[in-house]
Structure 1
Amino acid sequence: MTLHSSDFGPAPLRRIGFLLFPGFPMACLTAAVEPLRAANEIAGHQVFTWSLVTESGAQAAASAGMHFSAASSLADAEGIDCLFLLSGPEAEFEDPVSSPGRLRYLARHGVALGGVSGGVFPLASSGVLSGRRCAVHWCYRSAFETAFPDCTAVDSLAVRDGAIHTVSGATAMFDLSLELICIALGEAAMNEVACLFQHPVIRSGSSRQKVPVLQSGRTVDQMPPAVKQAMSIFSENVEIPVGIRDVARMAGISPRQLERSFRTATGLSPGEYYRRQRLKAARQMVRYSWDSISDIAHAVGYASSSTLTLHYRKFYGVTPVQDRKQRFLPDTRGPVHGSPVLT
């Protein structure tokens, strides 16, 4: 992430708070805290401190069902350099007025704010991300861009825009903790912590996220150049579909060559891959937003909700309405189940 101490003001970030929402991904919390704990042991004294915060001060259940006690409520959170929001994409504030206002107050008074994984959703709803660039996990990007059109989502592992930090997932949070260790204790300490956890590659925050190719064991960055370029064009043209001939032209090859390359690399024709990409975007919005099915259909290039429903049921085995209901069924593991573990 190529951070420097000047990025954060006169002193490194050492007092870290984590604002936990119900159903937050536990992996993101441990990925943040464990490197800092190890750094304290290497230093022989407490360089970093951390505290758990919830909106009301009550316990928070992680998506895995484990409960975590909070040291304070959001209103009482003090003495921290940075506050990271950890949640799933469906998270909402219990108090939609006072709590976002409290975040804006902390930002005005020098506290750096951050969102990890789905935590970018409540962070954006507080207003502090308006007009900023932010890292959004590929699994949530379509839903996020629909909900917050005034934010610029990018596919980097992490983004710092001013004093706002957004991190796409758990291992990206681990990388950010390593950078904080480097700032506070130097590169040797960072390297030792990385080796303790067998984390051999310390990635830059500007590195692009790994995105799986549908029905493949490979990721987009491993595709042949023309196929990778076509996939990028498809992902950028979800709402207004683009013709396969036009995609081939933009990729610099003939439609026949694009067809052969796509089938060899993915087992799918370009048109089928594109349709499934649009359905994947639709599913993000079905599962992580409350937009109407009709609005979702138009957002992914379908003329009607009935056509979307037909294709959706064929591919996912349920209608969009059924999928949304299943997503929010109560479960003994926590308030919401089915959230992916994001890295």
Structure 2
Amino acid sequence: MEVASESGIASRNLETGRHWRASAARPRLSVGFILARRFTLCAFANFVDVLRLAADEGDRSRQILCRWAILSDTMSALPSSSGVLVQPNERLGDPRDFDYIVVVGGLIDEIPNLSPEYTRYLRRAAEAGVPLVGVCTGAFILHRAGLMDGYRCCISWFHHADFLEQFDGLEPVSDQIFIVDRDRLTCSGGASSAHLAAYLVEKHVGCAQASKSLHIMIIDEAMRAEKPQPGIPLTLRTDDPVVKKALLLMQQNFDMPLSVAEIARRLGTGKRQLERHFRHALGSSPQAACLEMRLSLALHLLEHSEKSVALIAAECGFCDTSHLSRMFRRRFAATPQEFRKAHPAASLAEA
């Protein structure tokens, strides 16, 4: 029997120790970020902070269990939609260095201005089998690069009409906070970015680390992908692009409703022409359509929140509670107070 020398055993032990330390030091989850020009800062911050808080014990922010980097072709500071600049810390390299490449979008008008270098990098990542993540309008960028064909895609209800205009024949999902479809992950942005990041942390690092991140961020618990998006999607459906844009403008200004003349001005059309579009598409006037949406919002808030009737009236653009009560009774055959008394369980469940 051959006996190994002490020096040989020591050498093998040293090599084993090096291998163990290298494995232990390797992060369990690594993410490369591509930030579009005028990206949405909160969507990026929510995503990266979940990684940061899961990456180390306490609040020390060391990249131990998770690693992340902001990638760039030029290393120039990147402006967010709020004007805050973010400095990249790595040049575009081998996408296989990361477990995921996350594209954070922002303002719709800036999407065509993405550098071709980023598009080539994303295509290389797809060819290498690296999963791609679209955050906020990042899904638009992935589609423009030809990387979402055959995949389901999550889009904010706020951008649903924009997506349909740009990508004919594709039907995005706007009633979930995020979607995981094989090696493509998309989310609607905002707070949903934190939940998608928590999903990845739970998958690769652990449930405890994902929960810890969310709790520190004052988020009660991780939401599953199929959780409906917050906010009120359009209750009136139409294929008329002019009416769609008008409805979105109305929805964005519920608290201070715009006049029909102002909506027409913003859309670059005439007041009478806008009214003709509404009569043809919905069989109603713009004023009636706006009132219908405001009352639907009031109904939703009465059923799914504990906000006072006075506050709901203000948020829905009614002069006062009396105005809301008159319109609400006319539409739903009950006052807001009567409706809430009849639906106490739903209100408390959503509180």
Tell me the TM-score range normalised by the shorter chain: 0.5 to 0.7
8 Å CA contact retained: 1:312, 1:318: no
Most deviating of 165-174 and 203-212? 203-212
- Answering whether residue 246 of structure 2 is matched by residue 279 of structure 1, we say yes
8 Å CA contact retained: 2:179, 2:187: yes
1:304 is matched with none
Alpha-carbon distance in 2 for matches of 1:203, 1:32: 14
1:265 is matched with none
Uncovered stretches (5+) of structure 2, i.e. residues with no partner: 1-25, 252-257, 270-351
CA displacement, residues 246-278 of structure 1 (integer Å, 9 cap, x when unaligned): xxxxxxxxxxxxxxxxxxxxxxxxxxxxx9756
Alpha-carbon distance in 1 for matches of 2:207, 2:162: 38
- One of 181, 204, 217 as aligned partner of 2:201: 181
2:186 is matched with 166
2:32 is matched with 17
| TM-score (normalizing by structure 2) | 0.58
Q: What letter corresponds to residue 280 of structure 1 in structure 2?
A: L
Alpha-carbon distance in 2 for matches of 1:86, 1:22: 9
The structure that has the greater radius of gyration is 2
CA displacement, residues 19-47 of structure 1 (integer Å, 9 cap, x when unaligned): 01111011111101112111122388701
- Answering whether residue 263 of structure 2 is matched by residue 316 of structure 1, we say yes
Q: What letter corresponds to residue 137 of structure 1 in structure 2?
A: S
1:26 is matched with 41
Alpha-carbon distance in 2 for matches of 1:107, 1:31: 25
2:167 is matched with 148
Uncovered stretches (5+) of structure 1, i.e. residues with no partner: 1-10, 214-219, 221-230, 241-274, 285-310, 323-343
8 Å CA contact retained: 2:27, 2:66: no
CA displacement, residues 142-176 of structure 1 (integer Å, 9 cap, x when unaligned): 11012112433001111112201111012111011
Offset at residue 55 of structure 1 (A)? 4.3
8 Å CA contact retained: 2:29, 2:205: no
Matches within 5 A, 1:217-228: none
Matched residues, percent identical? Answer: 20
1:238 is matched with 239
**How many pairs were matched up?**
232
Higher relative contact order (CA 8 A, sep 6+): 1
Q: What letter corresponds to residue 229 of structure 2 in structure 1?
A: Q
1:87 is matched with 105
CA displacement, residues 70-101 of structure 1 (integer Å, 9 cap, x when unaligned): 123446656111111112222124444x5423
Offset at residue 138 of structure 1 (A)? 0.8
| TM-score (normalizing by structure 1) | 0.60
Q: Which structure has greater helix proportion?
A: 2
Alpha-carbon distance in 2 for matches of 1:197, 1:133: 29
Alpha-carbon distance in 2 for matches of 1:283, 1:118: 22
1:124 is matched with 143
Give the alignment's Cα RMSD to 1 decimal.
Answer: 3.2
8 Å CA contact retained: 2:155, 2:172: yes
